[in-house]
Structures are given as structure tokens and as C-alpha cells.
Structure 1
Amino acid sequence: MGVPLVLALCGPLVAGGAGPRAASFTLGDGHWLGTDFVGRDVWRQVLLGGRPVVVVALTATALAYLVALPLGLIGALTHRTWLEETLMRPLDVLLAVPSLLMILLVASVFSPGATGLALLVALVNIPDAARIVRAAAADVAARPAVEALRMQGESWWRIAVGHVGRSILRPLAADAGVRLTGVLYLVATAAFLGIGVAPDAADWAVMVDRNRTGLFVQPWAVVVPALLIVALTMGCNLLCDAALRGAPLRKGPRS
């Protein structure tokens, strides 16, 4: 995971200026990874292409949880059935629509940039994230400790965040690793389809799409960015799994 992250964060700082373009899909001539479909240096495009993928994916994941956490906590802690139904049933409807299909439908009407793509990906991840938060929080909310806190007159914020929120950190951390992997997949797929990025943008997913016609002539323009995307998604998931295995189980406050 470190290699794609370092390239994404530090690559633009060391990429340098764009040199003269060479012939398309060539190797050598000062380009140690060859050139792409329009004659640009592949190594420079690799250095520049990771930041959009990483920034959009992290932003979309953070925005999804920013909305899903309060929705899930309210749904789990409320005693008003109508409020829970009002919050959760529309999310069930959104879950019935495939994520990529929703992105394609919105993109067919509007032309989202990087910010719009992050908002779209966050939107399609909110329903599932909110349901997971609610399911994890509902188990904690049913414990006697929560009822005792209510009887003591503790504020909703202290109960929801201080007790329930702290108790569900482990399942949320596990979900975050899987969700970030899915978000990276969606962001890369959208960029591959030309949604949210320019057709010749320096983006790893765009590189895979635009250079695939020359795969058997100049494979590095496709293989390198594809491997970096795979390493980033797999590394993120494995890192979260390793952290969860090594983390001690935290116990909530005593009843």
C-alpha cells in the first residue's frame, strides 16, 4: 500500500515539467517506461495520476460516513418508530439501485468534475454505511448500560457518541477498510468510463482505458497504473484486517 500512496502524494512534487512528446506507444528514447497513446512520458503520468484517485476516494469515504454515522445512530437509539422508518426506508430504496448505474444516470444529465464525482460516490455509499452503523449500534443500544445512562439524564450526544459510538469502533473500522476498497473501485471505474475526468487526464484509471489499444505494443502504460490501483485497494483492505487482528477488544463502560 505504501508504494501507490507515496506515488500519489509525492509524485506531483517530483514529476517535473512536461518534455517534448515522442511517438505514441514507443519504448526507450529517454522514456524508461515508454510513452502513452499521445506520446507523453508514462513515468511522469504515473507520478501525476495517483493523487486524483486517492483524494477522490478518501473524500468520498469520509463524506459517506459523515452522513451515515448520525443517520445510523439516530435510527438505533430512537424510540420513535416513525422516525426510524422515515430515516431508513428511503435508504433501502437507494440500495436497490446499483451504484455504478446511479453514477451513470446522474453523469448522463450532469457533467461532474472531481468534486462532483466524490459527492456521487459518497451518495451511493451512504445507504449501506448507515445500515451497518445502525445494525452495530442497535446491539449496544439494547444493553442495560444505555438505559441506565438515559435514566441518569445523560444527553443524547454523550450516549450516542461517548458510549455507543465508542463501542462500535471495531465493526466500523472493519467496514471502513472494505468500503474504501469499494470506493476506489467505483472511482477508478468512473474514471475509466470518462466520468469526472478529462479524456486525456493524468489519472491511473484513465491511463488504463486510453492506453489499452496499445497493450501488446507498449504494455507498461497499462500494466503499471493497473497494478498500482490493485496494490492500493488490496493493501488498504489487508492493512485494516491486520490492524483489527492486532487491536485488543475494547470493553464499554460497565452497566
Structure 2
Amino acid sequence: MALLLVPLALALVGPWIAGDAGPRGVSFTLGDGHWLGTDHSGRDVVHQVLWGGRSVVLTALAATALAYLLALPIGLAAALTRRGWLEEALVRPLDVLLAIPSLLLVLMAGTLLDPGTVGLALIVAAVNVPDAVRMVRAGAAEVAARPAVEALRMLGEGWWRLAFGHVGRAMLRMLAADAGVRLTGVLYLVATAAFLGVGVGPDAADWAVMVDQNRTGLMVQPWAVVVPALLIVALTTGTNLVCDAVLARRPPAGKEAADDVRHRGARR
């Protein structure tokens, strides 16, 4: 839990406690009033770390959440429809996008649109939608084939309640397991895009930019690279560990749809 809470706390609270940056000093120095030294521009590393998590963390979290928000209705519709042409129309265009490397799509869109942080989150989310749709569709198809869900269809359950109230609810464990892995991939795309100047400026207070801009002084002043890199690693590792812990405590799913069938039958 601490691995996840530390980078999240720095991203959310860091800018409030960062204070004034103060005058710039000599590049890549240790000590001299700076706890973690200075970076390539002579700025205090602690101050940059406190400010640098907001763009990386919030962009990655927003992109991950938006990707699922777009993928869920498409994947559920493709899995639950009885019309083959509709399933093909929903899935095949996304399969074409899967053939193109995600990083290439992000860089192409970033070059054409010159986005800010919000634009980068939208681009990364859109790039993750095809794979998320395939994941949702595969999980929903397995749940939709269960006898309890078929019984709900016969009882006249509406599509919205069937898709999100029953099938979607039965997929929560799978989606939670996928969220940690997907967030790791999203962080990779966001950090790599920042390395290459997409979404954030080359001199911005950003953990990913700090790693890229300060790597030339790694042997002289390692903290300017090691600290932001460790925070990014802690965020991804902590997310996966927390998801695993939640899944381990959560009781097995599978009786929700059957309970709904019994309730519907009792009301009738």
C-alpha cells in the first residue's frame, strides 16, 4: 500500500507544500542547501519532485479511466449482441488499430495535434481502447453464455441492466486485475511521450522529463534521475500489488445473476 500511496500523495499534495523554488544554483551539485542536490538547470531536485508527479500521475490515471469508460460499452455491446454484423462493425476497425504500435500512434497524434497534458491523456486513452475492448468483449462473452444470464434474457431484462448490472458486475474481478497491468502500460506511454517532448515542455516539472533531462549527469548527481524513476516504479508496482491484495480478499463472484433470476421469478 505504501508503494502506491507515496507517489499518489506527492502528486496530489506535493505542489501545495513545494513552496518557492528559490534562485537557481549550479547544475548537478550535491548539498549546498539542497537535500537532493540540483538538476541540469540548477533547480532544487526536491522542489521539482514535489511538482513533477502531478502531470505524470494524473495524466496516467485519467487516461486509464477514460479508456475503460469508452471500452466498456463497446465491448459489452459486441459480446451481448445477437447480430453478427453489429459485432463485426464494432470490433474489426479496432483490430486494425491494434496492428499499429501504441507508441507510434501516440507520437503521430502528438506531432499532428501538439497537445497539452489533457490532450496527451485523451490520446493515450484512445490508443488503449482497442485492447481494452478486446479484454471486455472476451470476459463479457464468457459471462453472457452462462445459463443465469440466458434466463434473464428470457425474462425480458433490459439491455442496460443486463450489460452493466449483471454481466459488467460479474467482470469486476477481471477488470480490477487488468487495471494494474494497463496502468503500467499507460505510464510507459505517458513517460515515453514526455521523454520525446509530447504533451509537456522539455523543461517542465515532470518526473518523466526529469529522468530524461538529467540522465547526462547520472554519475555526478544521481538523485535527479533515481528519485523520479523510483517514484514511477513505485506507482506501477504498488498499483499491481494493491489490485492483487483486493482480489485476494474479495469473495468469488458468480451468484449475482442467479440471485437476480430468482428475484425476477419471485416478482412474477
Is TM > 0.5 for Structure 1 vs Structure 2?
yes
Q: Distance in 2 between matches of 1:162 and 1:110?
A: 38
Following superposition, which runs of at least 4 residues in structure 1 exceed 6 angstroms of deviation? none
1:5-30 C-alpha deviation (Å, 9 max, x unpaired): 11111110100012011011111111
Q: Distance in 2 between matches of 1:173 and 1:18?
A: 39
Partner of 1:34: 37
Question: Where do 1:116-135 residues align within 5 Å?
Answer: 116-135=119-138
Do structure 1's residue 54 and structure 2's residue 57 form an aligned pair?
yes
Q: Distance in 1 between matches of 2:234 and 2:179?
A: 17
Q: How far is the alpha carbon of 1:110 from its aligned partner?
A: 2.1
Please, which of 13, 18, 23 is the counterpart of residue 15 of structure 1?
18
SS, match of residue 25 in structure 1: coil
1:106-164 C-alpha deviation (Å, 9 max, x unpaired): 22222111011001110110001011101000011112222221222211111111111
Q: Distance in 2 between matches of 1:253 and 1:198?
A: 50
Q: Give the aligned residue type for 2:152.
A: L
Please, which of 21, 34, 44 is the counterpart of residue 47 of structure 2?
44
Q: Percent identity between the aligned chains?
A: 73
Question: Where do 1:1-255 residues align within 5 Å?
Answer: 1-251=4-254, 252-254=256-258
Question: Any gaps of 5 or more consecutive residues in structure 1?
Answer: none
Q: Distance in 2 between matches of 1:238 and 1:183?
A: 17
TM-score (norm 1): 0.97
Q: Give the aligned residue type for 2:227.
A: V
Paired residues of 2:180 and 2:236 also in contact (CA < 8 A) = no
Paired residues of 2:191 and 2:208 also in contact (CA < 8 A) = yes
SS, match of residue 253 in structure 1: helix
Q: Give the aligned residue type for 2:32.
A: D
RMSD: 1.0
Question: Any gaps of 5 or more consecutive residues in structure 2?
Answer: 262-268
TM-score (norm 2): 0.93
**Number of positions where the alignment pairs a residue of Structure 1 with one of Structure 2:** 255
1:37-81 C-alpha deviation (Å, 9 max, x unpaired): 111100000000001111100110111011100000000000000
Q: Distance in 1 between matches of 2:152 and 2:110?
A: 47
Q: Distance in 1 between matches of 2:33 and 2:236?
A: 31
Partner of 2:264: none
Paired residues of 2:111 and 2:198 also in contact (CA < 8 A) = no
Of residues 5-14 and 77-86 in structure 1, the stretch that sits farther from structure 2 once superposed is 5-14
